[in-house]
Structure 1
Amino acid sequence: MELKQLEYFQMTSRLKNITRAAKRLSVSQPNITVAIKKLEAELGIQLFERSQKQLSLTPEGAVFLNRIELALRNIQDAVLEVNDYKQLQKGTIKIGIPSMIGAYLFPKIFSGFQKKFAHLDIYLYEKGSMSIRESLERDELDFGIVIISNASPSLQLLPMSTNQVVACVPEDSPLAQKDSLSWSDVSNIDLIMLKEGSFIRNLIQQKLKEHNIQPNIILESNQIETIKGLISSNVGMAFLLDFVVQDTPHIKTLPIEDPIFVDVGLAWKKDRYISKAAQSFINFCQDTLNK
């Protein structure tokens, strides 16, 4: 049994598709197919149910996955720890950031951290908060600067700020004359939404569903400047965090009648070895907050 076989099996289990797993791991599809077949032959069991279009684990495969995920995580942590001893002046950090937070909050943190720790390499991955939190739980990222409200207990959290979700409407919209927005106001309005995987999108959809409102979504984008441009051009309205649209020309921000607040912060996986590079980032964020 080889380590690569276990890694291929793990990724295929997560993505439920050999082609996508091969692309994620940068290997050929036949390599993964052969590795899994050899693994099944060695174990004497069938790991996947192949009668469906989408691969699914057999009961035996699910038990095996639960066991090997812990083993692979321990191996990854061991490699990190050894590299810390071997390369005390080097390190890499993989950070996930949503576009909304990334454009307005992270640059300030990154600039200061890079000046202090120029020898560390930082890799950024832009996704929605929900997607980043899932990637953290799968050990695909070291950190996420995300909306941490209602996060999984498996994540360690460092709150950074509390922000309000506001309705953003064109300044010449009839809604701009109001002091606050009711959910009934949204029923006949063209809505610009963040893409799937966004915490704000999920939150707004949940609120609209609670009020039996079917939104008229005309466009989805994670490009915040594009969304703001569309709002100011009277294309539609959107829900964003307050600090993103503060003092933006041609846009009026309205609090929701039943205000929504969310916490933004740093998240990382509990019970994992924290490399010296990762610990330096945690310490820097803590020091920045205390200033």
Structure 2
Amino acid sequence: MGAANIRVHPHWPDRYVDLLNDAFSLRKVVVLHGHQRMIMERLDLSQREHGLLKGALARFTEIDPNLPWFNALRFAPADEEEVRHIQIPHNLRPNYMSLFFTFHINEHLLIFEHRGAGNSYLSPKMALAYFVELFSDEALSEKYGPIAVSMVADKDQLDAIIGIPHLKKLRIYVKRPNPDDLSGYDAFWEDKLVRQGATSIEVSYEAEGNESIRPDEETRQLAEVATRNGEIDASGFDAQGNRIKRSTSEHPTLEPLRYDPENTTHEQAFRSAAFSLVRRIMSGIL
């Protein structure tokens, strides 16, 4: 499982429900890469009163019937007669994969399957690209304003990123957090941005010569907020003088899940584990 943090302002719970429902109603197909496409296949609002939305994403391949065809038996291009007999209904798409997701309304966290049943697969980069493109639709942005999406980074990697032995460059980028459910650092930086009329903050440090950057407490706090609401990039050298580059974008939260199919279904196991992952993120364990 992976986790995405979705944020709108003002951030009332009902607005998140409306946002997901409106996004689903668009029936928007998003290009992942090449011929790969994705669409929100299903959205269940029946548990909204319990702070939960359930759904599924469909991933499939878009075929261009006008491109040349290849005959794998003859190891040669298909001729006109062979192509003439190809009939694919206009509403069918091959290589279908279905991946569950849950949206936890109060925490505005979306948990998605990274690897699902069979060969279904969705990388965090693909998930981020999909939701950014989906929520950038003009109909949604006009109604809800800017909609920020961030992959939740693996917090365990934070010390490794900003703790490079000879840290030469450090960039921290934070989109405006939602502090309703996260006290402390998130609330502090959200208030700081609001007071200055800003929606994001980017801080960059660079050391010259033999100096190394030594992040202070405020910088570390901002970096922690960035694991949920932005990204961190760092570069420098290890103790042996080897160049190092690290980024939170390379270390998204990915939670493994194993279950016994004789005692529970795939979907039940995912839903249960998603709740556990959300609790860990919100408690600061991840």
When the two structures are superposed, what TM-score results if normalisation uses the length of structure 2?
A: 0.24
When the two structures are superposed, what TM-score results if normalisation uses the length of structure 1?
A: 0.24
More helix by proportion, 1 or 2?
Answer: 1
